[in-house]
Structure 1
Amino acid sequence: MAKENLSEDLAIFIDWENIYISTVNEYGAKPNVSAILEKSREFGRIVAATAYADWTDGDFREAPPTLYSNGIAPRYISARYFPGGRASKRRTNSIDVMLAVECSDFLHNHPQVNTYVLVTGDGDFIPLVNLLRSRGKQVVVIGVSEATSYHLIESADRFISYASLLEEERAARDEKPRKAVDPYEELVRAVRTLKKGDKTRVLGQVKQQMIVQLGSFDERDHGFKKFKDFVVEAEKRGLVNTVDEDLELHVYLPDEKIPPAEEPGPAAEPKKTPAKRNGKERSAEAPASPNGELELSDLTPYEFGIVCKSVADLETPASFVNIFSSIRERTERGELELSREEIRSVLDAMLRQGYLKPARKKPYKGAKADITLYRLDRRQKAVKEALNP
């Protein structure tokens, strides 16, 4: 049995519908509540645990007594369905919204709780994860690997595969040590499996596949702070190759042809047509982006300052992927209101106006693919004013 850590308080929020459907579909069994609680106790003392569902639904009616007996409060949320009948139409996300609202309220009223365990695989909870982490909280996600958003896996401080909970229980009963595995061999196997299935091979999805294969995987157990560092080490050993594509880092096998790294920037001559944002027309004299998209002149001084600070806070020079992700994280925190396309337009504009300076280079000696790294030109007057208003 895991030793309870009494130095930290933690709260558990369970998206019951998500975990129930995932375990039934993948393993043909209902969620093992005891295993979830036992694993959670490794991170601290459980001071609150709540499960959200429409308990009148036929699949969930028997769950509340079991939850009560394990110290979990069943929170009833009426699931509303679109016109057309329950069988053919998907429910609204009222349950997800209530979980996020009550978790945010708990965060405000219980500052002593340092760890939050979210039992779900739904990527819609990424903004909630970012909110909790921005308040200095540790976020642990427990979910079924095959049914969990890989972006959710990346956003959490720690992801625990539900399959690993079952494996730990079996190992405890059998008292047989788990067979040691080579993490680099598993990485190559994961990339090969994704390639065979013609699936995207971004970092998050590769890690997700490794978790599926192993039941659990944490790069920190092998001396790496980030999964990217682990993959880079594998690339240095000649086991995989990486390249920036479509704003994310993709992983390839050594015998695959590496596509050229993406060169973000203007794709056409600037147009003179005015564009609109928030119903306001931009001046025709202002430099326009290639497709009449968002331009720097559309940003308020505050918005431009946040963009510049997002770049300045990174270890420079930084890849376009890291810069994009840093700005996107600010939008998820509510500091900016920019869509994915608008962020791309702003970065294109910063490149054209020289606020971002590119440098083509190899990430390290021996890498097969060159990448372009960027730094913020702090000498530019507009940048200076944005960083020091």
Structure 2
Amino acid sequence: MVDIHDAQRVAVLADAQNLYHSAQSLYSRNIDYGSLLSKAVQDRQLVRAIAYVVRAESPQEESFFEALVDIGFETKIKDIKTFGDGSKKADWDVGMSLDAVSLAEKVDTVVLCTGDGDFSRLCTHLRHEGVRTEAMGFESSTSEELVEAADAFVDLSEREDTFLL
């Protein structure tokens, strides 16, 4: 496993939907994306920070998207899809994975800010390509497979005052 050093090039990929739902269900609070990005980068060289968000037509979301940009995230926005049966879906798993694989040759570390176990296979692939993988999420709502597949895991629950607004 590669240790952290300040010459490392880092990409931070934040699954905003997953983080939002975890923070709301566990604490009824929102994520502090500035602190999240700072901890993810840890004095290393940030190559790219991308927040994957879903447009759900809520009143505050445009200001949230703008705040993410001000913090240093590039936003990728997907509209929520409503199906005939009334169910709704919008996830970024494939988009995040494709971006991570595309960035792999340009970075030393990919930090996945999510608790979604679907990304465990991505971690395995990136490690095979020589890329360090780190995951950040709330342990109680993070897949064990993801924690095990990543080189390092940061439990956001351990520092609520840092990572929650």
> Is structure 2 residue 102 aligned with structure 1 residue 101?
no
Structure 2 CA distance for aligned equivalents of residues 50 and 22 of structure 1: 19
> Is structure 2 residue 128 aligned with structure 1 residue 146?
no
Deviation at 1:56, TM superposition (A): 4.2
3-state SS of paired residue (1:51): strand
Deviation at 1:166, TM superposition (A): 2.9
CA contact (8 A) 1:10 1:46 kept: yes
Structure 1 CA distance for aligned equivalents of residues 157 and 47 of structure 2: 25
Matches within 5 A, 1:289-300: none
Structure 2 CA distance for aligned equivalents of residues 150 and 61 of structure 1: 33
Structure 2 CA distance for aligned equivalents of residues 128 and 60 of structure 1: 29
Deviation at 1:128, TM superposition (A): 1.1
Structure 2 CA distance for aligned equivalents of residues 165 and 50 of structure 1: 22
> Is structure 2 residue 68 aligned with structure 1 residue 71?
no
Structure 1 CA distance for aligned equivalents of residues 57 and 116 of structure 2: 20
Q: TM-score, normalised by structure 2?
A: 0.86
The residue aligned with 2:63 is: 62
Identity %: 25
Distance 1:43 1:143, change over 3 A: farther
Structure 2 CA distance for aligned equivalents of residues 57 and 147 of structure 1: 26
**AA matched with 2:123:** V
Instruction: Find the partner of 2:157 among 145, 158, 163.
Output: 163
Deviation at 1:97, TM superposition (A): 1.3
**Richer in strand (by share):** 2
How many correspondences in the alignment? 159
CA contact (8 A) 2:121 2:149 kept: no
> What root-mean-square deviation, in Å, do the aligned CA atoms of Structure 1 and Structure 2 show?
2.1
Deviation at 1:90, TM superposition (A): 4.3
Structure 1 CA distance for aligned equivalents of residues 140 and 160 of structure 2: 15
Please, which runs of 5 or more residues in structure 2 have no aligned partner? none
The residue aligned with 1:373 is: none
Distance 1:114 1:141, change over 3 A: same
Matches within 5 A, 1:124-139: 124-139=118-133
Distance 1:92 1:69, change over 3 A: closer
Distance 1:24 1:49, change over 3 A: same
Structure with the larger RCO, 1 or 2 (CA within 8 Å, 6+ apart):
2
3-state SS of paired residue (1:62): helix
**AA matched with 2:17:** E
The residue aligned with 1:366 is: none
Deviation at 1:35, TM superposition (A): 1.4
**AA matched with 1:103:** A
Structure 1 CA distance for aligned equivalents of residues 116 and 88 of structure 2: 15
Deviation at 1:140, TM superposition (A): 0.6
Deviation at 1:112, TM superposition (A): 3.9
**AA matched with 2:98:** V
3-state SS of paired residue (1:77): strand
Please, which runs of 5 or more residues in structure 1 have no aligned partner? 171-389
Moved over 3 A (4+): 59-62
CA contact (8 A) 1:139 1:156 kept: yes
Higher Rg: 1
Distance 1:148 1:43, change over 3 A: farther
The residue aligned with 1:91 is: 89
